[in-house]
Structure 1
Amino acid sequence: MSTTVPIATIGYAVVFAAAAIACFASLPRARRIDDAGTRRGLVALLVSSGSWAATQVGFVAAPTERFAARAHLLGLLFGFATVFAWLYFASAYTGRSYHREPTYRRAGLGLYLAVAAVKITNPLHHRYFTTEPVAASFPRFAIQQGNLHWIATGLSYVLAGIGIFVILERFAEVDYDTSVLGGLVALTGLPVVFSVVGYTSPRLLGFSYAPLGVAAFAVGVLFVVEERFLAVPLTGDADGAVVLLDDADRIRDYSREARDLFPGLVDAIGDPVDSIAPTVPVSGSEEDVLELDVGGETRYYLATDEGVSLGRADLGRVVAFTDVTTIERQRRELERHNDQLEGFAVWVRHELRNALTIVDGYADWAADAVEKGDDDDAREALGTVSTATDRMARIVADLATVAQYGRTIDGTEPVPFREAVEAAWTGADTGDLTLTVAGTGTIEADRARLRRLLGNAFVFFTHNSGSELSVSLREDGFVLADDGQRPPPEAAERYFDYGDAAPTAAAGMALPNVRTLARVHGWTVTVDPDHGAGTGIVVAGALVEVHDASPPAV
């Protein structure tokens, strides 16, 4: 006989022995996977596939026909078990629940036992396979497959294909580069080509080469790309942007949504994440809501940080960003409304208590003066009472304003800015103050609330000891500035607090109302620290269309 015959025997034995060793050697790492379902499925897959590969070694090196038949039969049993282990693993790994459903578990067990019974009883009916010695030294025994074998094989390929499909589907869902993982999964099906060649030609032995694919898959996912492999179950259900980091917080991969949120991620593989996306939470931080500018719009994202580990070894982490703009806006609006009511309640309580104290005291004084016949003192006391009651009436009016206009806006419209300024100016008691308006255009606002906002601002400037007031339309809002008193830098924020009579008691409610009416629009109101003489109030965050920036006078 040719000397190549034993070399072929050794070659087959070495290849399948290597596959068996790879499967069993991967067990310690597989047992360290945190997810119980994935861990059990992968361990079962490695045990069944490794045992299957070992029986293939026994078959090619079998000294007798009986040994070869038994080795082949054991291989058939382990091979069919590998299919169900693969399905269990695929279901758990992709986050499905089929592997936990009693109906599917019982159906799978029943199907396996039925097919296993047919295989075990093959020595009685010989319809699954037969063995026969051949004249050549390799292979020494040939397998003749029966009709039942092809039925079971077809069923096995269909079931295995389902597992491959659901895993590849999950890889597509995670939206970052899983091509290597996809290649490893496809590799599990590649040995089918060898089996087909073996069944249809003498170039290869006519039996299953599937254990080789499983061994390659196990080595690849557990020793080469383990952080990507373990990150998939964590990111498959993430609705939004995902960034995959290694154990040193360097960028390993990212999704398309993450690239849109953080353009600096492009070509940043291997770079520290804080140099590209500094808003990504550091390792071990709590969940946080990030405020990001997306296409010129402020949106809010919940950043969740989940570690990727294999046993005690940290392989990296996955940071997922979920768009929570609607919820966060509602939360902030509720917080704004609560703060507004709390501050206003404190102010109203304080002002009403003072006014009532004045009314009570001066009413007694007036009564005493009347009894004494002192008409001048009585008139003076009653005048003070009248002033206090007028003050109470203004408080009630301000309360009505906040109650009516401090609620969330249902809708906005483009409001001609000059028209709103003129209407508010006409309705305000501005004394000797003169007005100049710079710029024309429209501002997206609630018309009534905008007029109230401007009217309250005019009340403030009327009591700020100025003679000239300018209102300027800008691309993101507008500015009101006068030549009156300049607020101390350390006290500027007090001007917006209910309860602080700044700059005077008469104007104490004006700027707090301005901020309240601005916030319901989503705008901000601040004192301009760079304004020269007088006070500058900046309203920003508005959607404005400027038509003309020239400063005509009114």
Structure 2
Amino acid sequence: MALSTAIAAWVAVWLWDEELNLQGRLFVGIVAVYAVSGLLVTGELLAPSRTWMIAAFNFEAAVTGLLPLLWFLLVTEYTGYLRRIPRSVVYALVGWHVVVGVLEITNPMHDLVWSGYTVVASPFPYIQGEGTAIAVALLLPGSLLYYVTVALLGAHLLAGPNVGRKQTAALLAGYLPTLAIFTLWFGGAIPGPLTGALVVGSPLILGVVAWAVFRHQLFDLAPLARESVLEVLDDAVVVVDRDRRLLDYNAAAAGTFPAIPDHEGDPVERAVPELRPVDDRDGAGSEDAALDGATVEDPTAVTAASGPGPPSESAEVLTSNETGDSPFVSAFTRFEDGEVREYDVTVSPLEVRGSVAGYTLVLRDVTARRQQVRDLEQQTTQLEQFASTLSHDLRNPLNVAYGRVELARERHDDEHLETAGDALDRIEGIIDDTLTLAREGQAIDELERVDLSTVARDAWGTVDTGDAELDVDPDAGVRIYADATRLQSVFENCYRNAVEHGSTSPASQAQQDAVDHGGPSVTVTVERHDDGFAVADDGPGVPADEREQVFEYAYTTDDDGTGLGLAIVEAIARAHGWSVEMADSDDGGAKVVFSGVETVETPIASDGGEVVVSAVDD
């Protein structure tokens, strides 16, 4: 008894580590319960009096009663069922066992569990409790958990994933002695106290299981990775140990790479040869020489090395990209059934007690995404060509038409030539705005600190504003992160829209009175907003049902306008990562509101969360 207790205590101390996951902690808890129970049984057998024997018996019954609960929690956590059990049920089971344990310890005060105690003399003196009718109901749930647990382990061994059978078999080997002793003792085949029989019969096999568990990281690698990612991802996921041997995989991996189930325990490159970097293949051993030397120029080598199976017959390896410190590639391309498929590889090290014990590989099919990127790049190229055509090829004939109209007007000026000149002016305006839209809407690579009020005033001087007036609020004197040139274009188009809209729309009585007395036709205000800024005017405003349409291409209420001014504003705002909307100003006019604007007071991530002040800022 003392030897078994010592073994259990040593195994518990040997296994304990603060970095253990829940499965490991439960396993260590089970071994610790055997150790504590062994101490109590030893105390019962060596007790100098009947009173001390009864006290030790009550405590050992309470402690040993936790075993079926701990085994049940361990197995349900390992098999993945624990997360599906309602928390209330788990709490009820734990609470029930705690209550039973308390009743067992305090039984001499109420006799609810045992009506009396008998000292059995053969083969050695020990205490036997005489159970009450209530005891059957109190102890039945714990007894049933023994058999529920072995059923779960058996089902998982038969129907669970193939790569998890070693883990399951190890747990089953550690659990069966406990179940067998429990059953045989109740059948009268084993003499002495039940707890003693459990302690003597279980710790040695548990020590062997513990060695297997920690030697192969059965609780730390495959189950941990499965719990965190395998069951929630549609991408192919595989788990390998530090020697790149395949430990676990999900259904998506088996479906995408059918050779994986045939190579459990083998180097993962046998199932997916593209995972090994090209440089690593050159130094591979003779065992994997045929596999590792496979390249796009020698696709048959892949077929021969991978063994039988669909991937070997339909897959060829293209050049793979290395990941630096990672022992696997970051991306690869393969031919599958005559179709090119592209994959990204995300490598996540799995650490056990401070060292890398394996890796989780997520193989994501990015064929569609990369094709979309290529399509967008092609569209961007076409857009640049379109902008070039507007900038050069259309301006030449436009200038010729300008010259011919001017020559004709010198000889004979009439309303038809004037109309033609106006049409040419409109064509040039459309070209300028379309060219601006094509160029300014492109993504911005770098942002700089610019003074909002300074750019706003500079833009006012570049626009024909007539007798309009600009008012920059003092609180708009802040620095924001923006492209200064494009920000100025934003203000120019907002000003132009406010002035043109205010001058072509029916003026209010207040506006008309101001103009009659020499005041501005419209006042444009640049002001701060909650997380950005706004450009407002005191003109007639925009009807509520048209505010979303004003940013659409070619939307205009002015016959001479191009309808691209606010579309350019929105394109530049989105290129900055801002959002823009039309609202009412305080004076009843229109207000273009820009949100999501980063200021120096709210630094961007590249500053590391700190405000960096330069000499210019000072």
Question: What is the TM-score with the length of structure 1 in the denominator?
Answer: 0.52
Match of 1:341 among 379, 395, 419: 379
Is 1:198 the equivalent of 2:185?
yes
CA contact (8 A) 2:62 2:102 kept: no
Tell me the equivalent position of 2:218: 228
Map 1:277-426 → 2, pairs under 5 A: 277-280=272-275, 284=326, 291-299=333-341, 303-321=345-363, 324=365, 329=368, 331-363=369-401, 366=404
**Residue pair 2:246, 2:268 contacting (<8 A) in 1 also:** yes
Give the Cα–Cα distance (whole angstroms) in 1 for the partners of residues 12 and 409 of structure 2: 110
The answer to whether the 8 Å contact 1:199/1:206 transfers is: no
Q: 1:273 to 1:68 in 2, by over 3 A?
A: same
Shift in alpha-carbon separation, 1:294–1:139, aligned structure 2, 3 A: farther
1 CA distance for matches of 2:98 and 2:141? 14
User: Closer, same or farther in 2 for the Cα pair 1:108/1:122, shift >3 Å?
Assistant: same
More displaced stretch, 233-242 vs 193-202: 233-242
Give structure 1 stretches of 5+ with no counterpart.
Answer: 1-11, 374-388, 390-395, 397-554
Aligned-pair distance for 1:80? 2.1
Task: Tell me, in whole angstroms, the C-alpha distance in 1 between the residues paired with 2:397 and 2:383.
Answer: 21
Asked if structure 2 preserves the Cα contact closer than 8 Å seen for 1:221 and 1:229, the reply is no
Q: Which residue of 1 aligns with 2:441?
A: none
Q: Distance in 2 between matches of 1:41 and 1:71?
A: 25
- Pick one of 73, 78, 81 that aligns with 2:58: 73
- 1:177 is aligned to 163
Q: Matched residues in 2 for 1:41 and 1:98: separation?
A: 15
Aligned twin of 1:548: none
Give the drift of 1:151.
3.6
Report the CA distance shift for 1:40/1:309 in structure 2 as closer, same or farther (over 3 A). same
Evaluate the alpha carbon distance shift between residue 84 and residue 306 of structure 1 in structure 2; reply closer, same or farther with a 3 A threshold: farther
Say whether the 8 Å CA contact 1:176–1:254 is kept in structure 2.
no
Q: 1:320 Cα deviation (Å)?
A: 4.2
Q: Does the alignment pair 1:116 with 2:101?
A: yes
Letter in 2 for 1:342: T
Higher relative contact order (CA 8 A, sep 6+): 1
Q: Please report how far the alpha carbon of residue 79 of structure 1 lies from its aligned counterpart in structure 2 after TM superposition.
A: 1.4
Does the 8 A contact of 1:65 with 1:132 survive in 2? no
Q: What's the secondary structure of 1:360's corresponding residue?
A: helix
Q: Which residue of 2 aligns with 1:157?
A: 143
| Aligned amino acid, residue 247 of structure 1 | R
SS of residue paired to 2:118: strand
In structure 2, relative to structure 1, the CA distance for the partners of 1:360 and 1:182 (3 Å cut) is: closer
CA-atom RMSD in angstroms: 4.4
Deviations 1:159-206 (A, max 9, x none): 345555666777778723222322233231442222322232354435
Counterpart Cα distance in 2 of 1:113 and 1:252: 38
Map 1:237-276 → 2, pairs under 5 A: 237-238=230-231, 239=233, 241-252=236-247, 258=253, 261-262=256-257, 268=263, 272-274=267-269
Cα drift, residue 140 of structure 1? 1.8
Give SS of 2:274's match: coil
The more displaced of 304-313 and 202-211 is 202-211
CA distance in 2, matches of 1:280, 1:76: 54
What's the TM-score once normalised by structure 2's chain length? 0.47
Matched AA of 1:21: A
Q: Could you report, residue by residue, the CA deviation over 1:242-263 in whole angstroms, capped at 9, with x for unpaired residues?
A: 4332213244565676466446
Contact persistence 2:29–2:70 (CA under 8 A): yes
Q: In the alignment, is the contact (CA less than 8 A) between 1:164 and 1:185 conserved in 2?
A: no
Matched AA of 1:356? L
Q: State the secondary structure of the residue aligned to 1:73.
A: helix
Aligned ranges 1:34-73 → 2 under 5 Å: 35=21, 37-38=22-23, 40-62=25-47, 64-73=49-58
In 1, Cα distance between equivalents of 2:373 and 2:336 = 24
Task: Spell out, residue by residue over 1:89-115, the C-alpha distance to the aligned partner (whole angstroms, 9 max, x if none).
Answer: 455555667699774565345323431
Structure 2 gap segments, 5+ residues each? 277-322, 412-426, 428-433, 435-618
Q: CA deviation at 1:41?
A: 3.4
Cα distance in 1, alignment partners of residues 47 and 192 from structure 2: 14
Bigger drift between 113-122 and 126-135 goes to 126-135
Q: Which residue of 2 aligns with 1:139?
A: 124
Change (3 A) 1:273 1:287: closer
Aligned positions, number:
356
Kept in 2, the 8 Å contact 1:262–1:277? The answer is yes
Deviation at 1:347, TM superposition (A): 0.9
Measured after TM superposition, the shift of residue 349 of structure 1 is 1.6
